Amino acid sequence: KNQVEQSPQSLIILEGKNCTLQCNYTVSPFSNLRWYKQDTGRGPVSLTIMTFSENTKSNGRYTATLDADTKQSSLHITASQLSDSASYICVVSDRGSTLGRLYFGRGTQLTVWP
Amino acid sequence: EADIYQTPRYLVIGTGKKITLECSQTMGHDKMYWYQQDPGMELHLIHYSYGVNSTEKGDLSSESTVSRIRTEHFPLTLESARPSHTSQYLCASSESQTPRRGETQYFGPGTRLLVL
């Protein structure tokens, strides 16, 4: 069964600190992996996208890594800000259909405290 | 910032009422999607469309229906709302890219529906 599991479910950190969010998936055949940020009451916004051959991708203070062999990805946030408080969703796409089926994780709820 | 809009943002309605959730995008994307999301849970695809006059049901069974008469517009309708329909509904759109690269979906702000 194709699944995407994220950990931790929630995380509280102090402003200025770094953190790392994890994503494990069993989706096959793998096409790409995205990290989305979803602010409360808003729709998800894409942060990074990585294909099979990409190991790391940065977007400002966000750095995503991908290990396609172990089917793991991480999102590292550097020097966290209050505005980073949001749910971070890992989304994996397969190549098994023309739709490019997306599998969503439940997200990690990050809270940054001052 | 994606040019995809949803109205209303919040809706409280009684059981049995007919409702239509609006979604429109100005990016000219052919593909559009409706997702349902409960708090702390993953998004579930309920409907999608590849273009005008094309609609398909998604993975999650839904009593809602959709239509795609215009490229930019993809409304979702519930003929008779029930408390079990209480949820957040997210609309998204995407344009075709290379198969390897995949498509980035751009999401609207969502509609939070409460059925009493």
> Letter for the amino acid at B9?
R
Question: Which of A4-13, B80-89, B100-109 is the least confident region?
Answer: B100-109
pLDDT digits (tens, 9 = 90+) for B35-83: 999 988 899 999 999 899 999 998 887 889 999 999 999 999 999 999 9
Query: What count of other Cβ atoms lies within 10 Å of the Cβ of residue A64?
Result: 24
pLDDT of residue A96: 58
Residues facing B41 on adjacent strands: none
pLDDT of residue A28: 85
Low-confidence ranges of chain A (pLDDT < 50): none
Interface A-B: count of C-beta contacts within 8 A: 57
Nearest to B27 by CA among B103, B99, B84, B81: B103
pLDDT of residue B82: 94
pLDDT over 70 at B100, yes or no: no
Mutation site for B-interface testing, chosen from A50, A88, A106, A110 by largest number of B Cβ within 10 Å: A106
Burial class (CB in 10 A: 0-12, 13-18, 19+), A16: exposed
pLDDT over 80 at B6, yes or no: yes
Query: What count of other Cβ atoms lies within 10 Å of the Cβ of residue A97?
Result: 8
Question: Which of B10-19, B30-39, B91-100 is the least confident region?
Answer: B91-100
pLDDT of residue B103: 72
What average pLDDT is seen over chain B? 90
Write out the H or E segment, with its range, that includes residue B38: none
User: How many whole angstroms separate alpha carbon A24 and alpha carbon A15?
Assistant: 27
User: How many whole angstroms separate alpha carbon A67 and alpha carbon A83?
Assistant: 28
Contacting B residues, span 39-58, partner chain A, CB-CB under 8 Å: 40-45, 48
Instruction: Provide the token pair at B23.
Output: 């979604």
User: How many whole angstroms separate alpha carbon A62 and alpha carbon A58?
Assistant: 6
pLDDT of residue A100: 63
pLDDT over 60 at B99, yes or no: no
> Which of B91, B102, B107 lies closest to A100 in CB terms?
B102
pLDDT of residue B60: 80
